């Protein structure tokens, strides 16, 4: 069964950490599944926390196409969409246990929405080739308004213990309904909430019509690995955050 999962939330809420934790759990508990990880956040933090070396991004090839057009290096008879699509396929990083596609940034103004539309079309094709597609989305609401998150099995909204985080969660939930994203389940995950706020978060999830998926606890291992520049995929299996991530993965049927 193929699954497409999107992780969303405000900047700094912990969505990249959760994405890395879910990837780690899948690699250890479901090693036979083919996995595509999409770092759709222009900040490209996911590759850093998973130890993946990135040489080219979607933004890189978009910049290349823009400059080629400006310098009139492309034939007017060549489809620019087809050129960009072929270049984007070349940016897919093939690791031993998973593949990764990194969005990255474009230079200057313009054309990013166009690139995003091409990426969306490519993702529609790519996801059919993998058992699991796990997408770490950019912060906020822009990707939802552009319909990047269409046809999802699960939309996970991550919030930190702040009023801003909760408000962003609520807005993402409302916008997901307004743009008619085809999603089978919307889940709420708290990051670094104290254990005693579990009941509060459960109630909040019900209030905004999402399913409660759990709280990623404060885990000193994560802080240590981040500071040392170590991949979160190397976290010990008994790490508190890894244990909770496994429960979340099972809840959204990744395992």
| One pLDDT digit (tens) per residue for the chain, 255 residues | 789 999 999 989 999 999 999 999 999 999 999 999 999 887 789 999 999 999 989 888 888 877 887 788 888 788 877 888 888 889 999 999 999 999 887 665 554 566 666 667 777 788 889 999 999 988 655 555 454 555 789 999 999 999 999 999 999 998 888 776 788 999 999 999 998 999 999 999 999 999 999 999 999 999 999 999 999 999 999 999 999 999 999 999 998
DSSP letters of the chain? --EEEEEEESTTSSHHHHHHHHHHHHHHH-TTS-EEEEE-STT-HHHHHTT---S--HHHHHHHHHHHHHTT-S-TTS-HHHHHHHHHHHT-EE-SS-EEEE----SSSSSHHHHHHHHHHHHHHHGGG-SEEEEEPPSSSHHHHTTTT-SBSEEEEEE-SSHHHHHHHHHHHHHHHHTT--BS-EEEEEES--GGGHHHHHHHHHHTT-EEEEEEPP-HHHHHHHHHT--GGGS-TT-HHHHHHHHHHHHTT--
Query: How far is the C-alpha of 176 from the C-alpha of 205, rounded, in Å?
Result: 15
> pTM score, two decimals?
0.90
In the chain the first and final C-alpha atoms are separated, in Å, by 11
**pLDDT value at residue 138:** 80
Written as six digits, the tokens of 48 are 């850093």
Give the residue from 23, 110, 106 showing the smallest Cα distance to 57: 106
**pLDDT value at residue 148:** 52
Supply φ then ψ for residue 93, to 5 degrees: -90, 120
Q: Give the residues across from 186 on adjacent strands.
A: 155
**pLDDT value at residue 141:** 53
Side-by-side strand order, sheet with 99-102: 93-94, 99-102, 35-39, 132-136, 3-9, 154-159, 186-191, 211-216
**pLDDT value at residue 222:** 96
**pLDDT value at residue 71:** 81
Give the residue from 102, 132, 93, 143 showing the smallest Cα distance to 2: 132
**pLDDT value at residue 80:** 79
Written as six digits, the tokens of 67 are 């400059």
**How big is the chain, counted in residues?**
255
Query: How far is the C-alpha of 247 from the C-alpha of 16, rounded, in Å?
Result: 18
**pLDDT value at residue 142:** 54
**pLDDT value at residue 145:** 46
Torsion of CA 246, 248, 249, 251, to 10 degrees: 120
């Amino acid at each position: 069964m193929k699954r497409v999962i999107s992780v969303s939330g405000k900047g700094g809420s912990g969505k990249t950490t959760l994405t890395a934790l879910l990837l780690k759990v899948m690699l250890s508990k479901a090693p036979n599944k083919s996995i595509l990880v999409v770092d759709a956040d222009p900040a490209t933090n996911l590759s850093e926390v998973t130890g993946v070396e990135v040489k080219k991004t979607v933004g890189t090839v978009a910049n290349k196409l823009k400059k080629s057009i400006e310098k009139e290096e492309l034939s007017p008879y060549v489809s620019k969409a087809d050129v960009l699509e072929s270049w984007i396929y070349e940016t897919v990083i093939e690791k031993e246990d998973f593949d990764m596609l990194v969005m990255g940034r474009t230079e200057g103004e313009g054309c990013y929405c166009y690139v995003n539309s091409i990426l969306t079309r490519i993702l529609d094709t790519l996801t059919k080739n993998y058992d699991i597609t796990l997408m770490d989305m950019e912060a906020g609401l822009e990707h939802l308004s552009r319909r990047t998150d269409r046809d999802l099995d699960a939309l996970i909204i991550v919030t930190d213990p702040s009023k801003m985080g909760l408000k962003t969660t609520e807005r993402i939930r409302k916008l997901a309904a307004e743009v008619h994203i085809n999603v089978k389940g919307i889940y709420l995950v708290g990051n670094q909430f104290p254990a005693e706020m579990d009941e509060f978060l459960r109630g909040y999830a019900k209030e905004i019509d999402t399913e409660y998926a759990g709280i990623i606890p404060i885990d000193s291992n994560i802080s240590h690995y981040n500071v040392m520049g170590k991949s979160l995929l190397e976290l010990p299996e008994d790490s508190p955050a890894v244990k909770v991530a496994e429960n979340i993965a099972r809840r959204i049927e990744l395992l």
